[in-house]
């Protein structure tokens, strides 16, 4: 089985797949009479298709153990999808470039506490993958008409492993 080594999540490494949502290094300014700091425009919400509308949801994910066998990825051709943890817990973002309509070699990013991700429209990705314990996530994605889900099952699974 081919192995994918987990990488740390950085804006530069994740750029081909979307944006990292974090306050570190983000544009910010005070609001509400200086009592609040706004970290502004952290992700590009993309909505396509017929009658799109943004959805705001919360998902409660069960934790995964490493190493992790990756058998399937999915993508959403009509909208981006953002995940931001509601507790200071790590999770994985597993993504893959498009290779002629199917996913290429996946990459796995360790999202540190305080980091979230926004996957660009039509980006191949694994399922929500919290680590350690049950975790809640704020999700921003697309609602509306049309099929916004494609799944792909790898002929040979990948093994996601921690860096030594």
Tokens coding 13: 């490494």
How much is the pTM? 0.94
Q: Write the pLDDT tens digit of every residue in 14-57.
A: 999 999 999 999 999 999 999 999 999 999 999 999 999 999 99
Q: What is the CA radius of gyration of the chain?
A: 16
Domain count within the chain: 1
Q: Write the pLDDT tens digit of every residue in 71-117.
A: 999 999 999 999 999 999 999 999 999 999 999 999 999 999 999 99
Q: Return the CATH number at 80.
A: 2.60.120.480
Alpha-carbon distances of 110 from 5, 92, 101, 120, 152, rounded to whole Å: 10, 5, 26, 18, 22
Owning domain of residue 15: 2-161
pLDDT for residue 80 = 98
């Amino acid at each position: 089985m081919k192995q994918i080594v987990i990488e740390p999540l950085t804006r530069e490494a994740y750029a081909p797949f979307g944006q990292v949502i974090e306050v570190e290094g983000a544009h910010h300014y005070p609001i509400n009479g200086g009592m609040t700091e706004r970290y502004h425009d952290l992700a590009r919400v993309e909505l396509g298709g017929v009658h799109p509308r943004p959805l705001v949801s919360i998902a409660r994910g069960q934790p995964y153990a490493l190493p992790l066998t990756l058998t399937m990825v999915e993508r959403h051709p009509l909208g981006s999808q953002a995940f931001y943890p509601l507790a200071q817990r790590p999770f994985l973002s597993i993504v893959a470039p498009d290779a002629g309509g199917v996913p290429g070699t996946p990459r796995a990013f360790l999202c540190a506490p305080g980091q979230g991700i926004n996957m660009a429209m039509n980006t191949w990705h694994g399922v929500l993958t919290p680590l350690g314990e049950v975790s809640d996530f704020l999700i921003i994605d697309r609602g509306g008409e049309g099929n916004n889900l494609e799944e792909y099952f790898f002929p040979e699974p990948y093994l996601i492993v921690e860096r030594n």
